Structures are given as C-alpha cells and as structure tokens.
Amino acid sequence: MNKDLLIEIFVPIIGSPGLGKIGTGYPVAKDRILTARHVLFPPNRDPDKPIEIRWHYQQGEHRDWRPIDENNVLWPGDDNCDAAVIACPFPPDAKPWGTLAIESPQPAEWESEGFPDVGKWDDGSRVATAMQGRMHRMAKAASFFALDLNAGPNRDELLKGASGSPVMSEWKLLGVIVECPPHFDAKRLWAVPSCRLLEIPEFCTAIGRTPQTAALDLLKEQVILELSDSKEGKEAMEALESVTIRGGGLASRESEKNWASRLVDAMLGLELEHLVPVLRRAHRDLSTKRKFAAANAVANVSNAILPAVFDRAIVHTLQSRMFDGALALVDLPAATRTVAEIIMAGAEGRPACFCKADSGNTPPVATYGLKEPPTAGIDSDWKLWTKNIERSIAEKYAIYSEDDSRLSEDQRREMIADWLDFEAEEQRTRYLAFQFNSEDDRKKAMNALMELKRRYLAMNRDLTLVLLDLSTEGSRIVQERRLFRPFEEILKTALETNP
C-alpha cells in the first residue's frame, strides 16, 4: 500500500463553526478518490458548507485543506452500496495507487491506514492509524465481506473515522471499509468489495472504466446483430447450430433475433477448447459449400465471441492496468500476438480485428498492434530503441511527412499523443506487444519505457499506448498455437475472400 496517498476527509455538520466528521479516502484512478458513502452524507451534514479534503502525507499546498464542490461527487453510491467517488486533481507524484481487484476476497492478510478516533489527539488533530489482519471469504450474493483486526481499540466507537479506508493486499485494492459491527470487541470490520463496485455501471463511469458486465453485453449484442440481420447471418446460424447445440433451427413463431440470442448464449457457455473447433467447423462447412458470405459472417462472429468468452479475470486485470502510468509494462499471461489481440479486444469491449500478414505462412496480424522495433544492436541505454518506437508511431500517422518537417520534437509528441487519445476514444487503442530474450533486456526496456512515459508527463500528457509484456514460456506458446490455430485459419480464409 502506498500510504503517501492517504486522504483525510472533513464533512461539516450542523452546529458550531468547525464542527464536523472525519473520514478516509484513497485514490483508485487518476484524479478519482474512493470513500464510503456515509462519510460524505452523515444525517446531520451542513449543506451550506463544503466537504474538504487533504493529502495527509503530502508536503506544501497539497497538505492544506481544500474544498470539494458538490459537482465533484461523481458517484454518491446509494442505500444498497456504501461507497462513493470524488473527483479531485492529484499531486504530480501521486502514484502508484492500488489496482481494483476483480476477484472476490480470499483468506489472506490485508492492510490499511485511516483516521479512526483512536488516533485523535487532545487538540482535535489526528494521526493516521495503521490497520492489518486477515480477510474472510464472502458469499456470492453478499454485499460486504468481513475483516479481522489484529490490534485496535477496545471500543467500537473509537474506530469511527476509519470508514473509507482501503483494504489492500499485495497492491490490490479489495474493498473499502464501511463499518465496525457491534459485539466483536472492535476486532471485526466490514468492507464493500471492489468486485461488486466494478459491476455497477455508474461507479465504472465515474472512474473511467468499462463495467465488467457492459463489455460482455456489448460484444453479445454485436454477435446477435451479425447473425440476425441478413440472409448470410441466417445461413451462418444454421451452420453454427448444427455443430453447437443441435437445437433444431428456428423454432415455430420464434424471431431470428431470439434464435440468434439463444445460439449466442449456447456459444458463451462453451469452454474455449470446445468453442474454437466449433467455429472452425461451421466456417469450413460453409466455405466448402461456397457460401463465402455466410462463412465471413462466422468469421465476424468468431472475432466478437472469443473476446467475450476469454478468461474474464485476465481481461479485467488488463482493463484495470492498461492505462496505469505507474507501470512501464503490463504483464500479460499470453504468448502469442493472436491471443494478445483477443484479450485487448475483450478489455475494450470490441471485436478482435486482424489484417493480412506480410508473409503467407505467418498468422494474420492485429490491426491495432504496432510493430515493435528490433532489440538486436540497440545502444546500451536503449535511447535509440525508444526513439524508434516514437518514430514508428509518427510515421503511421504521417507526422513525419513533408508538411510536418518544421515541427519540434515536443510538437511531434503532442501530435502523437493527440492521435493515440483519439484512437483510444474510438475503441482502437494502439498497443505494442514485447517478448524479451532475457530478464536483463526486460529491465533495460522497463527503464527506457518509463523514461518515454515521463517525456509525455512533462508535457502534461498521458501516453495512451498500451505496452504489453508477453510470456516467453515454451509450453504456453505450444498450447496457444494448438488452441487458436483453427481460429487463425478462419481469419486467413476470411481475409483472402473478403480482404
């Protein structure tokens, strides 16, 4: 846990001047603070005075109390979810914060820090109080999970003020503390789990993330539209159903959209090792019958359904880390660029997108994946390597054209950042997938890539280019090639008949 980012929250209540409640907050995304809902909305809150926050461990002006406008409470939570999100500009060095966990809490050690009353001094000021203990599992339908507190006060009320503190475990943020339940001698806390928060569209919008369920629903809708909107789609459904669920085709009085929905649900229920061969068989059968338009519809379905079926934990982990400026590289448990594109597509809620490779024996290449510079012969500090990365991006967007020859390096970087931002907004986020020959190369690259990111941060710009670190494990390469070779054959045929 990065305790330097701890935030103290003051909420004025009706009464004498300066009277108020204290709570805790912690960053969960750029310029976004997570806390408990009841911290911001106590029963006797004074609506005529602003909420104030300060960065408890920061120096200078960031240590001062600053008011928060009502409009900056981006998500106030509700009666069923005791959490809230505040917008507030962060100090320049406010990184890294914790990654919101997509998995449910498991029995493991946790830690936190906050501002409970036990740390209150006689003059009214407070010291931050460290907390730690062990987490408990939660039921699938539960809205909170339990925490054991190793050491603490002997009275429940002395833990007031800890609400809003993060529950951290191995740099993952598992939840936000909201209550000290009675009858446990102040040795038990309750917390709202982050995995539940990530299922709430309004929360995800407030922190700039796609909801876990929204991306899946969007991909499903795209598949249904592809299948139900044309004659070729109907032929594709017939071929898919014959090798998927053998349900007898279009039922009496059933709309083609309902048929497509039923078929998609059946495919979403399949494991990847069963789904990929099913897609290939349907595509091959249609191609053999020279129904190329219907075969291309199966190819389009494949591009949309595989990101939806792929391991959601991996997809959501990438989703939460892909724009984390504190990370030089995002570790991705994938060994091939085909799988990397499927995971990227799932994280963005779009179909996978491929184009022809330069060589006929090479699998199709990801449309939004940039070609990484070669690592052989790079200078010892890798400056040339990072410069080549920028040059390849600039050339792709014609920033090195004759008209732009008068641009300075910073102006070119401004244009690169503008293009990458635009592509990300259009769900076409550009990315580089690296596979390093040695750990020494990886460390050099991480240092060089962080320096590259700092160049843009110095211009108050984020580099919205996702930098992936792919696995070099031989067994994973073999497994992925075996599993996804039928999908690559679908892509090759589709690109040849419909380039």
253 or 16: which leads in pLDDT: 16
Same domain for 341 and 273: no
Q: Considering the chain, what is the average pLDDT of its residues?
A: 84
Contacts (Cβ under 8 Å, ≥6 apart) of 415: 394, 397, 399, 404, 407
pLDDT per residue as tens digits for the range 254-283: 678 888 888 888 888 888 999 999 999 999
Q: Are residues 353 and 390 in the same domain?
A: yes
Compute the residue count for the chain: 499
CB 193 within 8 A of CB 138: yes
Say yes or no: 334 and 303 in one domain: no
Whether 68 shows a pLDDT value over 90: the answer reads: yes
Q: For residue 143, tell me if it sits in a domain.
A: yes
pLDDT (tens digit per residue) in 11-46? 998 876 678 888 999 999 889 999 999 999 998 899
- Regarding whether 328 and 269 lie in a shared domain, the answer is no
Give a yes or no: residue 497 inside a domain.
no
Residue 405: burial class (beta carbons within 10 Å; 0-12, 13-18, 19+): exposed
Q: Does a structural domain hold residue 155?
A: yes
- Please give the tally of structural domains in the chain: 3
Which whole number is the average pLDDT over 108-131?
Answer: 81
pLDDT tens for 401-456 read: 545 567 777 888 888 888 888 887 776 888 999 888 888 888 888 888 888 888 88
What is residue 13's DSSP assignment? Answer: B
| Beta-carbon-side half-sphere exposure of residue 214 (alpha carbons within 13 Å) | 14
Q: Model-level pTM?
A: 0.60
Residues 358 and 270 in one domain: no
* Whether residues 114 and 58 fall in one domain: yes
Residue that is last in its domain, among 309, 343, 376: 309
Q: Give the model's pLDDT for residue 402.
A: 47
Are residues 5 and 27 in contact, defined by beta-carbon separation less than 8 angstroms?
yes
Q: Any idea which residue has 């305790």 for tokens?
A: 3
Residues 144 and 9 in one domain: yes
We report the CATH number of the domain holding residue 50 as 2.40.10.120
| Residue 377 pLDDT | 45
* CA dist 460 → 301, 457, 485 (Å): 40, 5, 43
Helix 409-425 vs helix 383-396: angle between axes, to the nearest 10 degrees?
Answer: 60
Q: Which of 288, 309, 330 is the last residue of a domain?
A: 309
Decide if pLDDT at 189 tops 60. yes
Residues 26 and 165 in one domain: yes
Q: Which domain holds residue 254?
A: 212-309
Structural domain ending residue among the three candidates 178, 209, 240: 209
For residue 320, the Cα-to-chain-centroid distance in whole angstroms is 2
Residue 489 lies in a domain: no
Nearest in space to 110 (alpha carbons), one of 165, 63, 153, 72: 165
In a domain, 484, yes or no: no
Same domain for 367 and 400? yes
Residue 495 lies in a domain: no
Residue range 466-479: mean pLDDT, rounded? 92
**Do 14 and 157 share a domain, yes or no?**
yes
At 356-395, the pLDDT tens digits run 887 666 789 999 998 776 654 455 667 777 777 887 777 7
